[in-house]
């Protein structure tokens, strides 16, 4: 289905970096949900990233909801966001249009679209499109909140620097919603910021690892085969730009563990079934068990760097050197963290709507 | 779509561990492909695992193709595998049916299916179902081979022991197709086997990390958003039992890298566009670039161990102790490696058929 | 999705007329539904048709449920039917395999599958496959019945002969479930039977029109665009062999009406919202309004007739004459009526499960 | 998938009659197709209908393509149309919002969306949305034309008045593209126009039957079960407002025919396989046979009439009388004919892209 994700709740994306507008159509929206537009704006603002590290493109991200929203509430029919593009300097791009920026999509886009793609600023591949994805996710989050579900993401590591894991989800999520640079531990935050500043100075960029957690999500959701909760979440999370790995619970650390340390024993505590450990990240056999869903995403370093790189001109079919000019970020993990939250919300709302119906009557 | 994966080429699974039969229906099969049934049998045999480490259930895995196969060739209409279940000792399971085995799906299945699930031997959640998935993947592999695509998987690490990466794909794949324990480096193989033997002795189990590679897959396949090659592959790979993480290229190591080491410069070598490094694992912007696709899967330790574990009786709603009897494996990574190959083949054939049409006329 | 229909509840078909077996995989099945296997057998028996008019192939239609059914109840995991093929005389078909039977699928199958299709007895296009579809529909009907939904179909017309419309749904459905030739009016039944006997004598065949009605189906189901109740039902009903038209309520008669006779006024009767007329067949704006859903299907005459017909040999690419030998029916409307009921059940259960969730908790 | 239709080529609709904008997102668009925007405008103008019979709402239908279109050509990434709403008088609707207009969707929308739907002017159910559907279809038609496929629709009958059938597709299609009232026979045109004028005078409305034909569509497209060409086309055609029946070839007339008149013999004429008759409307066994695809749609009379009707106030839950004020049409068949053409184009492009791949490399 290409640019559409989801069955019961779905999101369709459109737009290019330097086209007229970008946007998203949300379908299967629960009717009657009051939307807090300020919260959507706030998430979009976080997505643009902390100013010190982020590009100077003055994206206004002023969104319009052109359908599916009436008298302050969702109608249940498709909700369409439109975000106009401004401040686009297309002249920068035309001469570079056949030069493949390493680890970018220029070359693969050329092959797929036979050269007809809008090449300006990455076109439909641009991180700009994540503004639409984030707006969609912000709505999904507000619908999920009516069911008691909350989501937060922070930078778990960058280089060798590690943030602490979530401790108190409630207060950590609340803190993160206000942080323009989502690191829980103050000292780790400073170190990561310093590492990024160093990379910038060096004309280079950094990657990192994100940790997303979801609380309040009902048990019994997901499928044993194919539409596992892990599979559905990973499917969308690889659309967060630069994400190259997705794992749940202990993830790749499981490879070093033995069963007796990896297993999560069940227990009844205060009349509720829990697993005192949560190595499986809230999912057993593809189905949620009622514990927090815990996800890690690996984010590669921003491919745009201020260094001369070897590459090709795919029109002339010859090798060439490339020094990328213009604005670009030494890090996008902090932006990716917002998009990961949004993407997680979209996938989980889809799963929830499929399980309990479009009115979300959860028992 | 639950137990169905794929749009252009799809696989539907059915069956339970101790039911009458398991199987798979394949649709969107290219017509006229001669199938080598011996190769399917060989893959199914590998899936059962090296005898020394694997359970004693004498699964015959004798498959029947009951449709879609005529005069030795695929017809193009649905191809259905049926694998009868034999050697099932149901008596073992009835008394344990309400005891949640830690990190297994007993409890989540109970919640989802309200207690009506076939609980015997894990029912529809059983690793047994992967025989059907493997048979489906074996067909997908043979169709892909008519397009020049090949796939292989080995155990990259188990605990601290590491296998070498793929060096020569052609010969490594060929070697792996004969190995009942898929480790490329002879010494690493011995060490991993020893580690598993140690875990068995200790009543424990081990996890590991798999590396899958795909060669010959055409460039220009995949989508920028949602149906990225990474997203589609990860979607299915989380159905390989015990997989809790999926990554591409450098995966989680990207978190420690800087852009100048992470980027893959393009180059024209012998008239062909390549990236001398392949940190991105063959995918840029969600679309294949013609380089080998390289995937890592994290496999958690087998949850069934010979140790008393704390858990609950979810019918009585009370805490209890559990010692799992019966046959179970100290490791399933070697089995998972076969299923990962099969799952990869299914997802890639779906992407390829969507891109080039059901006759697979690749330019 | 080709041979799979449905999103929330789905059916996947497989098999060919003269292959080893045919069958269906049902997914999204509500768990815990007690299935009356006798009722499934009874519907399959009706599908084979009144003996006097139907082919002599001694189809046993003995079905096995090989998965998803445990201790007399659905488990919620995929339920697979397998029906073995017996009494297949393949020798009849090999010499005719390149002769296009007029209005059959031989030629289009040849083009689509490049000659690799199983041509024996129509292969995957055979009416035989409707046994699997009917079995699937029989399960869907039983699940729908737990929600108070009932379905019945009769032959509304054949040539100029017209059956009466449904009068009392309850008793008419009950009568139809026992009739091997589904005509409500006794006299019309005799006339239609006489017409068919006449066609048979003449080596010819007849068509007809079916009327299907559904009672007890909840209001508020369906979508304004694309997944309208009419669109989803029509989508599947064109898979009932020989159906070439599908309409709702007054259907094609609307073309002759004016608004003041066509409109269905609303009224509150006994505290319930109804439309005293039901010209719209239970659907307004694509969404059910709580009135019975009323569907008409046009069934073309059986293409197999005992007359010499002009046609082509598509292998030799030349014109030729054809006299079809072997068993075939002068009418299939009575069989089609059973399949129409089954198909209706499948589509409606899918819509219902999407609306209210897979546990079918209807408010 | 609700407001999204299609798998390989898809269209997602959004918008309400009196909201800010309506629109459509097209995905799976073949890259590099030069679009003639004038032709899109022309089709939108036809959709608004002949002025004499159509409502006075001054819809400008000025569309913007905000994405997926670059330097005059499709890019291959999602193409989004936005059509702003102007001239909306919302005041008209607020006091009637709980009165169910007979045969409209007011009541079913209320049930489905729990009263949160935008009720103004029919909201998301409004015929206004067909402007977006028509724009999407106009693009699909232009892409299909690059493959030699053409589509046309005319009013086949209205009341007892009958237009002639298509004779010369080429010249008939050309004539229809210029007619604001699509009737091929001049005399029939006058009679139908007179009938509509009579209905208007009487405060009433009329229905009719449409005939759509498609030429140049490749053989071998479609599936034997479920995704039959008829099923897929019918699925979308029931989204053309007021359509209550869809048939192919002889359609409901088949019910009166015998096999020897209904069958289409094959013949080789001028080296090409044809059926001299085309009773099956170009489809055998769900798959195109290369003959023109011929479709009939039954259109019910416009539900809005200038007569007092009995109905209910569903908020107060009481019976009431209703006289609909404001602008409405005595006929919409001529508008529906444009939308039927557009919908047909969308479904056929989806089928074609699934069969031959997204580059539409048709052999």
pLDDT at A189: 97
B115 contact residues in C (CB cutoff 8 A): 32
Cβ pair C176, C152 in contact under 8 A: yes
Interface touch B257/A207, C-beta < 8 Å: yes
For residue A39, pLDDT over 90 is answered with yes
Largest CA distance in chain D: 69
For residue A87, pLDDT over 70 is answered with no
Tokens of C14: 């497989």
CA angle D152, D154, D158 (to 5 degrees): 160
**C37 to each of C12, C69, C173, how far by Cα in Å?**
20, 11, 19
- Alpha-carbon gap, residue C286 to D298, rounded angstroms: 15
- Alpha-carbon gap, residue B95 to A206, rounded angstroms: 54
- Alpha-carbon gap, residue D331 to D51, rounded angstroms: 12
Nearest Cβ partner for D234 among C238, C260, C288? C238
- Alpha-carbon gap, residue A88 to D260, rounded angstroms: 67
CA–CA min distance B205, chain D (Å): 43
pLDDT at B295: 98
Per the model's pLDDT, the better-predicted residue between D91 and D180 turns out to be D180
**D225 to each of B31, B76, D262, D285, how far by Cα in Å?**
17, 13, 22, 8
pLDDT at B332: 95
For residue C55, pLDDT over 60 is answered with no
For a pLDDT cut of 70, what percent of chain D falls above it?
Answer: 95
Nearest Cβ partner for B113 among C16, C31, C79? C31
Question: Hey, what's the torsion of the CAs at A201, A207, A213, A219, to 10 degrees?
Answer: 160
Nearest CA in chain A to C6: A7
Interface touch C363/A358, C-beta < 8 Å: no
**For A294-351, what is each residue's pLDDT tens digit?**
999 999 999 999 999 999 999 999 999 999 887 778 999 999 999 999 999 999 999 9
Rounded to an integer, the average pLDDT of B113-132 is: 96
C230 contact residues in D (CB cutoff 8 A): 238, 243-244
Nearest Cβ partner for B254 among A199, A220, A300? A300
B112 contact residues in C (CB cutoff 8 A): 31, 76
For residue D318, pLDDT over 70 is answered with yes
- Alpha-carbon gap, residue D46 to D44, rounded angstroms: 5
Rounded to an integer, the average pLDDT of B54-77 is: 85
**For B238-269, what is each residue's pLDDT tens digit?**
999 999 999 999 999 999 999 999 999 999 99
Which of A212, A300, A311, A312 to probe the B interface (max B CBs under 10 A)?
Answer: A300
pLDDT-derived band of residue A89, with 50, 70 and 90 as boundaries? low
**For D5-30, what is each residue's pLDDT tens digit?**
999 999 999 999 999 999 999 999 99
Average pLDDT, chain C: 94
For residue D50, pLDDT over 70 is answered with no
Please state whether beta strands D150-158 and D208-215 pair in parallel, antiparallel, or not at all (unpaired).
Answer: antiparallel
Strands annotated E in C118-197 = 150-158, 161-162
Chains that touch B (3 or more CB pairs under 8 A): A, C, D
Chains that touch C (3 or more CB pairs under 8 A): A, B, D
**For B128-176, what is each residue's pLDDT tens digit?**
999 999 999 999 999 999 999 999 999 999 999 999 999 999 999 999 9
For residue D56, pLDDT over 60 is answered with no
Please state whether beta strands A272-274 and A150-158 pair in parallel, antiparallel, or not at all (unpaired).
Answer: unpaired
Question: Hey, what's the torsion of the CAs at C24, C25, C30, C34, to 10 degrees?
Answer: 50
pLDDT-derived band of residue B86, with 50, 70 and 90 as boundaries? confident
Interface touch C1/B7, C-beta < 8 Å: yes
What residues does C26 pair with on adjacent strands? C11, C79
**For C274-302, what is each residue's pLDDT tens digit?**
999 999 999 999 999 999 999 999 999 99
pLDDT-derived band of residue A56, with 50, 70 and 90 as boundaries? low
CA angle A287, A290, A295 (to 5 degrees): 70
For residue C143, pLDDT over 90 is answered with yes
CA–CA min distance B218, chain D (Å): 14
Those residues of chain C whose CB sits closer than 8 Å to some CB in chain A are: 7-8, 77, 224, 354-359, 361, 363
**For B179-219, what is each residue's pLDDT tens digit?**
989 999 999 999 999 999 999 999 999 999 999 999 999 99
Cβ pair C16, C358 in contact under 8 A: no
Pick from A40, A65, A243: which is nearest to A134 by CA? A40
pLDDT at B53: 61
- Alpha-carbon gap, residue C164 to C170, rounded angstroms: 15
**For C318-350, what is each residue's pLDDT tens digit?**
999 999 887 778 999 999 999 999 999 999 999
D77 contact residues in A (CB cutoff 8 A): 3, 14, 16, 113, 117-118, 123-124
**For C236-279, what is each residue's pLDDT tens digit?**
999 999 999 999 999 999 999 999 999 999 999 999 999 999 99
Interface touch B356/D354, C-beta < 8 Å: no
**For A232-291, what is each residue's pLDDT tens digit?**
999 999 999 999 999 999 999 999 999 999 999 999 999 999 999 999 999 999 999 999
Cβ pair C140, C349 in contact under 8 A: yes
Rounded to an integer, the average pLDDT of D228-241 is: 98
Helix H or strand E encompassing D338: helix D333-356
For residue B70, pLDDT over 70 is answered with yes
pLDDT at A246: 98
Nearest Cβ partner for C363 among A7, A354, A361? A361
Interface touch A76/D123, C-beta < 8 Å: no
**D184 to each of A352, D52, D153, D345, how far by Cα in Å?**
52, 19, 10, 21
**For D103-147, what is each residue's pLDDT tens digit?**
999 999 999 999 999 999 999 999 999 999 999 999 999 999 999
Rounded to an integer, the average pLDDT of D228-250 is: 98
For residue B56, pLDDT over 60 is answered with no
- The count of C-alpha atoms lying within 13 angstroms of the C-alpha of A166, restricted to the half-sphere facing its C-beta, is 27
Tokens 């002949």 correspond to what residue? Answer: D50
**A324 to each of A117, A305, B75, B259, D305, how far by Cα in Å?**
20, 7, 52, 13, 65
Nearest Cβ partner for B78 among C3, C27, C115? C3
pLDDT-derived band of residue C52, with 50, 70 and 90 as boundaries? low
CA–CA min distance C359, chain A (Å): 7
**For C165-179, what is each residue's pLDDT tens digit?**
999 999 999 999 889
Tokens of D1: 């998938």
Interface touch B356/D357, C-beta < 8 Å: yes
**For A178-234, what is each residue's pLDDT tens digit?**
898 999 999 999 999 999 999 999 999 999 999 999 999 999 999 999 999 999 999
For residue C316, pLDDT over 90 is answered with yes
Instruction: Kindly report whether the global pTM for this prediction surpasses the value 0.95.
Output: yes
CA–CA min distance D351, chain B (Å): 10
CA–CA min distance B8, chain C (Å): 7
Tokens 């979440």 correspond to what residue? Answer: A233
For residue C57, pLDDT over 60 is answered with no
Tokens of C149: 């939904």
């Amino acid at each position: 289905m290409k640019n559409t994700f989801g069955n019961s709740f779905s999101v369709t994306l459109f737009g290019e970096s330097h086209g007229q507008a970008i946007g998203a159509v949300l379908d299967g929206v629960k009717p009657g949900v009051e939307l807090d537009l300020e919260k959507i704006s706030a998430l979009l603002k976080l997505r643009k990233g902390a100013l010190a590290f982020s590009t100077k493109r003055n994206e206004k991200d002023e969104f319009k909801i052109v359908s599916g929203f009436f008298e302050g509430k969702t109608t249940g029919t498709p909700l369409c966001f439109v975000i106009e593009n401004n401040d686009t300097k297309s002249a920068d791009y035309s001469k570079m249009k056949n030069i493949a920026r390493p680890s970018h999509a220029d070359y693969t886009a050329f092959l797929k679209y036979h050269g007809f793609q809008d090449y300006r600023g990455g076109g439909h591949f641009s991180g700009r499109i994540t503004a639409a994805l984030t707006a969609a996710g912000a709505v999904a989050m507000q619908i999920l909140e009516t069911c008691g579900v909350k989501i937060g993401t922070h930078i778990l590591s960058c280089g060798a620097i590690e943030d602490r894991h979530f401790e108190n989800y409630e207060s950590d999520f609340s803190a993160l919603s206000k942080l323009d640079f989502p690191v829980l531990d103050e000292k780790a935050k400073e170190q990561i910021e310093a590492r990024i500043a160093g990379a910038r100075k060096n004309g280079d960029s950094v990657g990192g690892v994100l940790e997303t957690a979801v609380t309040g999500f009902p048990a019994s959701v997901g499928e044993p085969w194919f539409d596992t909760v892990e599979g559905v979440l990973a499917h969308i999370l690889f659309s967060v730009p630069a994400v190259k790995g997705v794992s749940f619970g202990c993830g790749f650390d499981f490879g070093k563990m033995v069963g007796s340390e990896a297993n999560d024993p069940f227990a009844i505590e205060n009349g509720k079934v829990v697993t005192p450990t949560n190595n499986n990240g809230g999912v057993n056999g593809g189905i949620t068990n009622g514990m927090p869903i815990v996800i890690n995403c690996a984010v590669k370093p921003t491919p745009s760097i201020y260094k001369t790189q070897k590459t090709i001109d795919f029109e002339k079919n010859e090798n060439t050197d490339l020094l990328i000019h213009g604005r670009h970020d030494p890090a996008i993990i902090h932006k990716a963290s917002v998009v990961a939250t949004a993407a997680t919300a979209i996938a989980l709302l889809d799963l929830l709507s499929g399980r309990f119906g479009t009115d979300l009557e959860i028992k």
